[in-house]
Amino acid sequence: METHIGKTLLKIIKGDITVQDTEAIVNAANSGLLGGGGVDGAIHRAGGPAILEECKKIRALQGGCPTGRAVLTGGGNLKARYVIHTVGPVWFGGNSNEDGLLRDAYLNSLTLAKEHGIRSVSFPSISTGAYRFPIRRAAGIALRTMRDFINEEDYYDEIRFILYTEQLLKEFELSWEKIEKTI
Ligand code: ADP
């Protein structure tokens, strides 16, 4: 589905984040920044070794990326010019500030993109794969965080949520319907 929040075009669609043509795509990385499985592995495979080289430099400078934070590299061979690597929380049952850390991951990614003058960003569903965050809950946090950011400053041209499975897509669409009613 597609809609506008202010001047920002929002797309919630099924797809593969590695082929998106937004200026930046977001990677659900891990703190080590050395690649991994899931969407992280797919982005490094599609983008080529230049992304990992840059990640290694960031690691050498600041020792990786803490949960909830984000760092930026070039996009290598991807259509996207930049990759924002953010680290979502591992789900430990809900009492370890998982919600707050997931919100931080989205918020810091949006803030970092804006700092670099990036006007269009694609997000995957952070933390809902290997990190086991419940999908419905994650969708609500992802979409509310994005909506709150745009309500504060209507800066972006386009934000996409690229959902890899039908189930993810359904949960994000349902979640957005609920949020829209509360605007
Ligand atoms: P995390 O460790 O943050 O849970 P994962 O990569 O395991 O990260 O999963 C995050 C989400 O990314 C999952 O919901 C998974 O379905 C999705 N995903 C995996 N590959 C892709 C892809 N190529 N494009 C978009 N989403 C993807």
Q: CA dihedral in degrees (22, 23, 29, 32; nearest 10)?
A: 170
**In this predicted model, what pLDDT tens digit does every residue of 26-72 receive, in sequence order?**
999 999 999 999 999 999 999 999 999 999 999 999 999 999 999 99
How much distance in Å is there from the Cα of 155 to the middle of ligand 1? 26
> Over the range 113-139, which residues count as b (16 or more CB within 10 Å of their CB) and which as e?
beeeebbbbbbbbbbbbebebebebbb
Please give the number of the atom of ligand 1 that sits closest to the Cα of 87. Answer: 3
Distance CA 24, CA 75 (A): 8
Residue 89 in tokens: 């929380």
Q: Considering the chain, what percentage of its residues have pLDDT values greater than 90?
A: 98
Please give the number of the atom of ligand 1 that sits closest to the Cα of 42. Answer: 23
Q: What is the pTM of this model?
A: 0.98
Residues with CB under 6 A from ligand 1: 16-18, 28, 38-40, 42, 88, 124-131, 162, 164-165, 168
What does the angle CA 32 – CA 33 – CA 39 come to, to the nearest 5 degrees? Answer: 120
**In this predicted model, what pLDDT tens digit does every residue of 115-151 receive, in sequence order?**
999 999 999 999 999 999 999 999 999 999 999 999 9
**In this predicted model, what pLDDT tens digit does every residue of 79-107 receive, in sequence order?**
999 999 999 999 999 999 999 999 999 99
Residue 124 in tokens: 């995957």
> 177, 147 in Cβ contact below 8 A?
no
CA–centroid distance for 141 within its chain: 12
**Chosen CATH of 2-181 out of 3.40.50.720, 3.40.50.10300, 3.40.50.300, 3.40.220.10:** 3.40.220.10
Residue 74 in tokens: 């070039």
